[in-house]
Structure 1
Amino acid sequence: MRERLAAAAAGVAPGRYQILAAINAVHTSARDIRDTDWSQILALYDRLVRLDPSPIIALNRAIAVAELDGPEVALAIVDRLAEALAGYHAYHATRADLLRRLGRSRQSRAAYDRAIDLAGNTGETAYLTRRRDQLR
């Protein structure tokens, strides 16, 4: 612990967990989602993706992009992750939400169906089913 404090005091760049903690802090400091500082979150994800270029980090970064640049820009990022995240329910749930925001209900419903098929627990399944059923 002392070594980490000394490193932080010496100006050593933050690591993966420190950046994740900073992202969490930005989220929790907002009163609600509309007050979230998405530009700060995106800047933190930009740093994190350089340390950990995983597809899940890229997916999370795309959510911040959607808030700043719109769902169409984010969907292009998400669609490039299709092969790597085909079996990950959060990938399909993210796609479903972006498609919903773009008014593409039929495609959104299909993405929600896939996310529901892959969801790991009844709470996630119930939430995703509610979201899907709210589509026109």
Structure 2
Amino acid sequence: MNSAALIKLYYWLSPVFILLYGLTGLDIRVTIPGANPGWHYVYLGVCFLLPSFLIKRPTARSLFALGECSLNIFLLLYGFLNNYFQQLDALSNGLEAPSIASPTDILHFALAAGVLALGFYGNPLVNQKDRG
């Protein structure tokens, strides 16, 4: 399976991520620090619908994946940094410090980074052999 097919599969699985989040609260795809839970559904809906419209345009789909995963990694790093500063603040005040990263955060980071790499290296503008 080439990288373009993996990117399509990742976005076609968005309804599974929506169900996981809705039924169990497990948030492995989206990290929006301090956001209303409704934004998760909107975001996942966009991640399902927009690539569906780009099904015949592998370059646009790969660029969307690149942008979406870049945004995810930025938000995830922001969340880590925010937790780090909260931990420093708690420690300086003699309080119990919160965890910097949960296993779910690390899983999300790995998933987003993997799709970012696939989106970049699978992009027909970068890799002329993989036209998806």
TM range (shorter): 0.3 to 0.5
Q: TM-score, normalised by structure 2?
A: 0.33
Greater fraction of residues in helix: 1
* TM-score, structure 1 as length reference: 0.33
